[in-house]
Structure 1
Amino acid sequence: MNWRGGDGTPAIYETGGPELYAGTPEDVRVAVAAMTAETKDGLRHEAVPWRKFHHAYGPGDGLPDILTGIGCSDAESADRELLNLWNMICHQGTPSAAGALAVPFLVRLALSHSHHRALLLVGALARRPHLGDGTRAGLLRADTPAGVLNFEPSGYLNAWSVEAARQALTADTDLLLPLLDHTDPAVRAATAYALSAAAAPARDRIKAALCTRFDVEDDLVTRASLVLAIGEVAWTERDADTIARTHAWWRDPTRPAEVRVSAALAWLCLVDDPIPAELDTFFDEEATDRLAALLAPVPWFFDTDREEGLRSVLVQMRNPDDYAWLATC
């Protein structure tokens, strides 16, 4: 039985499985690696094999026109079109192979037009399908867990698309870092979200830049986003410095509530300790409905539950047995 969603979609079931296509032109990671600086900076869409790779509704060959149109639109129209694009290439939170090819062009849209939604979309494409996972094992996890097979509507292996998007994002890290100092706090928060999903080669530079920005940040949502981004950069290796830093932040009564709560969540994601009684009490006192409403735009909370956000994250972290199924996704 071969299930192929069209040209360029590796068959799920056949001898060798999807790995039969690893390293071939049907591997989107290969296509992203082949994109030159001239292709990306010159917006040379014609040099990209869009048709070989799919989004939720078909081959990706219509995406260049959409991307070009967004770049030529006013802010309100561009925001609307970015939402439509999101529905195509990250449908219901599932990144796509065609979306991975779009990452370098979305980065350049963000640079030239300050589209914070383009940065949020880059961050979403560079993360595994989230499925509302706000658990300690999932909130700050960008990569697909080993052995988990997620497939896109086309039948394409989603882990490859996420890897390719992270690869593209990592290559453009130095372009995005200056946006952490953008005048618009929505751009700063979205930049932190995007950068924190980058792969290992860029993590040291990203962590340093996030910490530098945190020291001067005065916007509530952006401060919370920076804390979670710092935690996410440290998640894979469980960086001891970040564990100590986030622990100190949540226990420091002089810190603002959004910093302390976000730092506590990041710390919980980085350690295996049971939730201390002190921290349980702290959440009851500080994670108020008012704070949850203020932090609703924080990308990690929005990803988990658009309505409940912080509340949903706290429920999942405090009741892990009820959400054990998320570890298999």
Structure 2
Amino acid sequence: MTSEELVVDHEQVRIDGFELYEGTPLDVRSVIAGMQQDVKDGFRFEEVPWSRFGHAYGSGHDVPELLTRLRSQNTEMVRQSLNNLWGSVVHQGTVGSVAPLTVPFLLRIAADPSAHHRASTLRLAAAAARREHWGYGTRDTFLKVAAQEWLCDCGGYAMNWSIEASRNAVAADAGLLLPLLHDPDPEVRASACYALATASGEARRITEALHARLAIERIPGVRASLVLAAAELAREHADPHAASWARALCADPEQPADVRVPAALAWLCLVDDPVPDDLHRTLDALVTDDLAGVLDDVPWIAHVDENGLTRTLDQMLNNAEPGVPWVDPWD
């Protein structure tokens, strides 16, 4: 395929589907799979086909400059570059086709202790590797990473492929992310959980690391993130033991509420069973305004609503629609 042919023919896609481009240089999954280690480690942007893929405002040719600025010691420059990347490569929850190409570099920047805004950088990588739920916190959607139906980005590219490619990039660099579960900054630890949960592979290794960190973690929001990350990974990889793990964690009176309530949410998403009375009683006893104040900032919950925990509980327990004013779910 020559450079002149490296453009998606959307008319042909409407006839034959995106599978027409599977495995070609226009398949961003193939580009990620072929990205050499020295290209990633050396930030050799010139060897990445940025212009072949796009974001909300057109070609991805401008992305390398923004990534370069993320490595600056000028905090304001880093902040502005992050804002520009958020507004383009994952514009309003739409993952652009160039987004996966940023993930290996975002992870390396975030892993550098001298970098600024590391937690936000990790969350950007995680956003490139998951679908937006648009306020849905239901049992079916809350821990769902990938899209089953075909979705397209602003330029008409298959967003399913972009998300899959980003997840593959996270899995390939799990070794960079796992040490961040022990980072001195709790926001980095929580964001590392959110990114690791999207990985398309290395599930057992990541799960063991999440469980090990949970045993020693002391920050409530990070503990909740560890539980939800392990559950999301289990859901995506069909771990048959995860539901019983979550149920036992929820029922354990020795565990703090910031572990037991996320474990309850995890169990609700991992099974189709009716909600048992004892789980209702547990949530009734544990969910307080103070707990909601902590959990509302946890990424999974924050993305449901500004009142994320109450909205999530209302949807999971009452089948409420997103945006419906919250009422006491056990009233």
TM-score (norm 1): 0.91
Query: Does the 8 Å contact 1:228/1:266 carry over to 2?
Result: yes
Query: Does the 8 Å contact 2:69/2:77 carry over to 1?
Result: no
In 2, Cα distance between the equivalents of 1:247 and 1:10? 49
Spell out the pairing of 1:76-95 with structure 2 (5 A cutoff).
Answer: 76-95=76-95
Corresponding position of 2:119: 116
- Matched residue type, 2:120: R
Spell out the pairing of 1:1-329 with structure 2 (5 A cutoff).
Answer: 8-11=7-10, 13-112=13-112, 113=115, 115-145=118-148, 148-199=149-200, 201-305=201-305, 307-320=306-319, 322=321
SS at match of 1:128: coil
In 2, Cα distance between the equivalents of 1:10 and 1:98? 17
In 1, Cα distance between the equivalents of 2:279 and 2:184? 34
How well do the aligned residues superpose, as a CA RMSD in angstroms? 1.7
Query: Does the 8 Å contact 1:9/1:154 carry over to 2?
Result: no
In 2, Cα distance between the equivalents of 1:83 and 1:133? 25
Ranges in structure 2 where 5+ consecutive residues have no aligned partner:
323-331
Task: Please state how far the C-alpha of 1:77 moved relative to its aligned partner.
Answer: 4.0
Inter-CA distance 132–8: structure 2 relative to 1 (3 Å threshold):
farther
Query: Does the 8 Å contact 1:79/1:117 carry over to 2?
Result: no
Query: Does the 8 Å contact 1:10/1:18 carry over to 2?
Result: no
Farther off after superposition, 9-18 or 311-320 = 9-18
In 2, Cα distance between the equivalents of 1:212 and 1:321? 35
Inter-CA distance 298–8: structure 2 relative to 1 (3 Å threshold):
farther
1:241-277, Cα deviation, whole Å (9 max, x unpaired)? 2212110111112211110100000011111111112
Query: Does the 8 Å contact 1:10/1:155 carry over to 2?
Result: no
In 2, Cα distance between the equivalents of 1:8 and 1:53? 9
Q: Which runs of 4+ in 1 moved over 6 A?
A: none
Query: Does the 8 Å contact 2:203/2:237 carry over to 1?
Result: no
In 1, Cα distance between the equivalents of 2:311 and 2:62? 37
Task: Please state how far the C-alpha of 1:151 moved relative to its aligned partner.
Answer: 0.9
In 2, Cα distance between the equivalents of 1:80 and 1:178? 27
In 2, Cα distance between the equivalents of 1:104 and 1:10? 28
TM-score (norm 2): 0.90
In 2, Cα distance between the equivalents of 1:316 and 1:77? 40
Inter-CA distance 69–53: structure 2 relative to 1 (3 Å threshold):
same
Task: Please state how far the C-alpha of 1:10 moved relative to its aligned partner.
Answer: 5.0
Ranges in structure 1 where 5+ consecutive residues have no aligned partner:
1-5, 324-329
Q: How many residues were matched structurally?
A: 314
Task: Please state how far the C-alpha of 1:289 moved relative to its aligned partner.
Answer: 2.1
Inter-CA distance 42–221: structure 2 relative to 1 (3 Å threshold):
same
Query: Does the 8 Å contact 1:96/1:152 carry over to 2?
Result: yes
Task: Please state how far the C-alpha of 1:7 moved relative to its aligned partner.
Answer: 6.2
- Matched residue type, 1:128: R
In 2, Cα distance between the equivalents of 1:219 and 1:61? 40
- Matched residue type, 2:169: A
- Matched residue type, 1:256: P
In 1, Cα distance between the equivalents of 2:128 and 2:257? 30
Inter-CA distance 24–43: structure 2 relative to 1 (3 Å threshold):
same
1:11-57, Cα deviation, whole Å (9 max, x unpaired)? 16433121111111111111111210111111011111111111111
Inter-CA distance 220–99: structure 2 relative to 1 (3 Å threshold):
same
- Higher-RCO chain (CA-CA 8 Å, sequence separation at least 6): 1
In 1, Cα distance between the equivalents of 2:80 and 2:70? 9
1:177-196, Cα deviation, whole Å (9 max, x unpaired)? 11111111111110011001
Task: Please state how far the C-alpha of 1:237 moved relative to its aligned partner.
Answer: 4.1
Q: Percent sequence identity over matched residues?
A: 44
